[in-house]
């Protein structure tokens, strides 16, 4: 990776920048869509297998299979997670479509216990039609449903890829309500992983923002710069490194904006805002990023109207960061149209 000489000397975490007070003042912790959760995870119950079995019998259960949730639609654009009873899950197990599955304890909401039932891949086309991905339905979900969905999907993704012990290679079994897996031979315990990734809104002193484009994205899509935190690296240093590598600019005034889970498959996005003092140095790395562009509010509005800019989907941290920046001077959020939903 290309090194930017001296760029780590620019790292400074602040709550409000005195020199750039006007630029930063409108930014506070963001309300992020996947960070909504109205579920008490009740982790203390995970050690009580008998209690979990008792709760299962009267629980509300969400069904996750093949990366999608069983949904109930009130209209063509409104979805909610279907709640099954344990009796209904038993009936589904008796069909040809579902013969096995694992149950994961998710917690409580308004006195009701919630579990996820994660089954094998779906073969039936008719049954598949009832299942939708979190990317498809995320904008529709209530706080309670969102909390259930991100928890269930993150657990299911991890369990699916950790069927064997990393120490001895033996099979593992889900334990403690799905909060870990235990080796069937050496009894070692293995816990779900979450991969931290930063995402940063880069601005210059005139409040213009720098966006980048990856080659694999849909045509005209630009977004904020992001990357995984490396071992032994702070979030702030990761912000500086990623922006330097991908866009070639130095940054300072690194300010935390919020975080949200991103279970695709197992990340958490940590959002930051930063200022560059050398905007003229911006250039794509030519590997991950093929193009970078500076936008003012006026040029962004025009680019959207001209269909030369496609914004990130509404469920993403990036979209919320761009909306917060755009509206900070009183501009209308209605100007930012297009790209709101994923197609799948």
pLDDT for 37: 85
Please state which architecture CATH assigns to domain 7-33+194-335.
Answer: Alpha-Beta Complex (3.90)
CB count in 10 Å sphere of residue 285 = 16
What SS3 state is found at 335?
helix
The residue ranges of every structural domain in the chain are 7-33+194-335, 43-190
pLDDT band at residue 120 using 50, 70 and 90 as cut-offs: confident
Instruction: Find the angle CA(293)-CA(299)-CA(303) to the nearest 5 degrees.
Output: 80
What SS3 state is found at 77?
coil
Is 70 exceeded by the pLDDT of residue 8? no
Residue 87 CA to residue 320 CA, distance in Å, equals: 41
pLDDT for 77: 60
Looking at domain 43-190, its CATH class is alpha beta
pLDDT band at residue 243 using 50, 70 and 90 as cut-offs: very high
Cβ(71)–Cβ(132) below 8 Å: yes
pLDDT for 343: 53
pLDDT for 76: 58
DSSP secondary structure code for residue 247 in this structure? H
Identical fold at 7-33+194-335 and 43-190? yes
Residue 38 CA to residue 56 CA, distance in Å, equals: 20
């Amino acid at each position: 990776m290309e090194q930017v000489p001296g760029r780590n000397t620019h790292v400074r975490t602040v709550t409000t920048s005195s020199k750039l007070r006007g630029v930063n003042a409108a930014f506070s912790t963001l309300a992020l869509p996947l960070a909504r959760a109205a579920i008490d995870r009740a982790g203390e119950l995970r050690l009580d297998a008998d209690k979990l079995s008792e709760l299962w019998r009267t629980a509300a259960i969400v069904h996750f299979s093949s990366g999608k949730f069983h949904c109930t639609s009130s209209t063509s654009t409104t979805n909610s997670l279907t709640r099954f009873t344990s009796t209904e899950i038993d009936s589904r197990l008796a069909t040809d479509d579902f013969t096995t599955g694992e149950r994961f304890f998710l917690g409580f909401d308004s006195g009701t216990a919630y579990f996820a039932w994660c089954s094998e891949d779906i073969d039936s086309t008719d049954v598949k039609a009832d299942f939708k991905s979190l990317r498809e339905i995320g904008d529709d979900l209530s706080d309670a449903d969102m909390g259930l969905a991100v928890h269930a999907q993150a657990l299911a993704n991890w369990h699916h890829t950790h069927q064997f012990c990393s120490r001895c290679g033996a099979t593992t079994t889900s334990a403690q309500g799905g909060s870990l897996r235990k080796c069937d031979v050496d009894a070692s315990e293995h816990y779900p992983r979450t991969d931290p990734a930063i995402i940063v809104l880069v601005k210059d002193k005139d409040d213009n923002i720098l966006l980048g484009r990856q080659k694999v994205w849909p045509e005209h899509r630009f977004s904020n710069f992001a990357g995984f935190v490396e071992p032994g690296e702070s979030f702030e240093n990761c912000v500086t490194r990623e922006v330097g590598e991908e866009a070639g600019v130095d940054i300072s005034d690194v300010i935390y904006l919020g975080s949200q889970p991103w279970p695709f498959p197992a990340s958490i996005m940590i959002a930051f805002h930063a200022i560059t003092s050398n905007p003229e140095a911006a250039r794509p790395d030519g590997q991950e990023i093929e193009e970078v562009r500076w936008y003012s509010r006026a040029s962004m509005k025009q680019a959207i109207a001209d269909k030369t800019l496609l914004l990130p989907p509404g469920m993403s941290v990036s979209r919320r960061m761009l909306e917060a920046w755009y509206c900070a001077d009183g501009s209308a959020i209605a100007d930012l149209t297009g790209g709101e939903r994923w197609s799948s």
